[in-house]
Amino acid sequence: MKNPRFIHLRVHTEYSLLQGAVHAKKLPEMAAKMNMPAVAVTDTNNMFCALEFSEGASKAGIQPIIGCQVDLGYTVIEQGKRQEDPAGIVLLAQSEAGYLNLMKLNSCLYLDQGNQVPQVTLDDLQKYNAGLICLTGGPDGPIGRLLRAGQRPAAEALMDRFAAIYPDRLYVELQRHPDGTGLPEAEALSERGFVEMAYAKGLPLVATNDVYFPKISLYEAHDALMCIADGAYVDQQEPRRRLTPQHFMKTPEEMITLFADLPEAIDNTVEISRRCAFKVYKRDPILPKFADDEIVELRRQANEGLQARLAVIPHAVSLEAYQARLDFELGIIEGMGFPGYFLIVADFIKYAKENKIPVGPGRGSGAGSLVAYALLITDLDPLRYSLLFERFLNPERVSMPDFDIDFCMDRREEVIRYVQDKYGRDKVGQIITFGALLSKAAVRDVGRVLQMPYGQVDRLSKMIPVEGVKPVSIEKALGRKPFGYVIDLRSNPGGLLDQAVEVSDVFLDRVEVVSQRGRDKRDIERYFAQPGDFANGLPIVVLVDSGSASAAEIVAGALQDHHRGLVLGERTFGKGSVQTLIPLDEKTALRLTTARYYTPSGRSVQEGGIEPDITLPQLSDPDYKARPRFREADLSRHLINEAKVDNSVLEADEKPDPRFKATPEELKAKGITDFQLHYAIETVSRLGRPKLAAAAPRKAVRR
């Protein structure tokens, strides 16, 4: 990476919440591919990713430049007039002193602001200016807005104020994001004024690209993200877009071409990167000193607390075992240097209990500590329940201990105030967590801003599987092999047949719906001309219209040749319409069946020559439609009855494996797999463990 020609100095990562779409972890790799030895991160009004980005960039051999786009209140509030919205400038840390001042300014953004939006003042900039390089903010910065409003004198006065605050550290920022007709209006109105002021005042120019997404192809996706943030729709008529497709991470060659008439603005990006030489580093935990000799104090409180506990509780083990466990834990705590942590936590928990503030009994791995039990941090005897201390604190895995403590939400502020008063407000902070837009929520939010039908969005979201407690990524979900397909050949979808497909989804980890509505006979013939290649040999459900017997025959014949799939149809007799349902699974190719129809009286009409594997006449019950839980339960009960499962299996939790009365040959003959049967037993158990009839499934009871 010798002789770099351009460095990006204005990049918004995903920590510019619901604005940026550049992954901080991937940014160093992107910079390396563009032959950039350094790159800056300038998230809007926060430095959330400073440490993460610094660590990742350093490992990739890239110099991290830590910065922030800070909103500045640049106008004086006049009585009776509305204050102008704050405008952003970019501050870059040259040194550790600059990094510390940048953190101070970030605190100024949010502290003592009342109901105002986050912003700093010119006085704040003056107070914390050391070690920082300032970029004026481009066309949407404070000076750019004044130029666009035709207030040239005010713009020059503000430029002079900046130059006084940042002597030899102020750069006049230029941006160009051209579309098909030239520069956007804001850039066209402000650029000439910027250049003239820079030359007149002897200030250097610098070129930036306000980066919000990695590639130009992601513009539409990023626009949907902005709509999610603003509560807007992608296709709404009123102007709302403030970014263009050009706000992506351009290559040095593209930026050099864009500013060919101002080469010094490109060169100054490299100069700035060389002036910034600070990397955020990790620090050891800093804890206030609780006592002059914390080890002696911890041993005293722990031993006295254990004796007080043992005086009132039944003993789970001998007194010697309690004392040995206590000494063992104390040795590890002292060796890892955490006596002060235990004393501090025990102190404010005792304060809460003494002041009758409800405190939880303890949860998580901290409940495995006998020292915590003796200090009244937890109220659970770990020896009685054989809980391991090593899960909480382990010398082979050195990390800060972390007690999960629950305080009454109505009085938790009293505990926080106690800690602040004891150790100082500037020594106490509260942590935050970031809410991630995971795949299922992302699909729903994007569907909303695209104004897609709710049913379609809901179906797509439910197709994303969950691993543990989190849904898998969309990329992983798309890469999964489906367990079956639903092909819709109906002209007017809806009704009970759709409900039947919902029930079949119980047996499919993933169902893809391929819509072929309105196809005539020739289209269907062509579509299924080579069914062996279609759907990769996976099970198929085909939905057909009631009267399309010819279509059903074509599809049935094609699928029958390959021994997989089934056809579902629907026909109306009087007031009831019903259908046949056969569950699919990923292990067994199902025996082909055409639709079999039932009337409310039970009379059947068969359109094909093959008997269905499983029929559900109770689907004709009109009351059945309103209770999907009963549809699922009845299907499961029917499977269990067909397999002749002993009813006692469903009521004996201590028996982990079901006992079958039917032989494997009988199950195979009925087309029932172990997968289906285990799922059916689980379903019936989850829905209340009902007694099962020995014969065919019961009809749903009217309520």
In angstroms, the CA 139 to CA 148 distance is: 8
Tell the burial category of 385 from Cβ atoms under 10 Å away from its Cβ (0-12, 13-18, 19+): exposed
Q: How far is CA 588 from CA 15, 592, 668, in A?
A: 47, 12, 10
Element (H, E) at 63: strand 63-72
DSSP-derived pairing of the beta strands 604-606 and 596-598: antiparallel
DSSP character at residue 121 = -
pLDDT digits (tens, 9 = 90+) for 304-339: 999 999 999 999 999 999 999 999 999 999 999 899
pLDDT for 543: 57
Residues 365/391, Cβ–Cβ less than 8 Å: yes
| Half-sphere exposure at residue 422, Cβ-oriented, CA atoms within 13 angstroms | 14
Residues 272/7, Cβ–Cβ less than 8 Å: yes
Residues 645/652, Cβ–Cβ less than 8 Å: no
Residues 393/358, Cβ–Cβ less than 8 Å: no
Residue 64: φ, ψ to 5°: -75, 135
pLDDT for 703: 38
| Third-level CATH fold of 27-275 | TIM Barrel (3.20.20)
pLDDT for 477: 75
The residue ranges of every structural domain in the chain are 27-275, 294-427, 481-620, 624-703
Alpha-carbon torsion 294, 297, 303, 304, what sign? negative
pLDDT for 429: 84
The strand pairing partners of 512, in sequence order, are 485
In angstroms, the CA 555 to CA 541 distance is: 10
Tell the burial category of 576 from Cβ atoms under 10 Å away from its Cβ (0-12, 13-18, 19+): middle
| Half-sphere exposure at residue 603, Cβ-oriented, CA atoms within 13 angstroms | 7
> Can you list the residues of the chain whose pLDDT is less than 50?
483, 494-537, 546-554, 556-636, 639, 643-661, 675-676, 679, 682-703
pLDDT digits (tens, 9 = 90+) for 505-561: 333 333 333 444 444 444 444 444 444 444 444 555 555 554 444 444 445 444 444
In the block, residue with structure tokens 């009704």: 495
The strand pairing partners of 248, in sequence order, are 213
The strand pairing partners of 104, in sequence order, are none
Q: How far is CA 540 from CA 482, 517, 578, in A?
A: 11, 16, 20
DSSP-derived pairing of the beta strands 170-175 and 132-135: parallel
Element (H, E) at 425: none
The angle formed by the CA atoms of residues 17, 247 and 270, to the nearest 5 degrees, is 100
pLDDT for 371: 95
Residue 664: φ, ψ to 5°: -55, -35
Q: How far is CA 185 from CA 145, 176, 182, 191, in A?
A: 12, 11, 9, 10
The pTM for the full model equals: 0.68
What's the full length of the chain, in residues?
Answer: 703
Alpha-carbon torsion 86, 92, 94, 96, what sign? positive
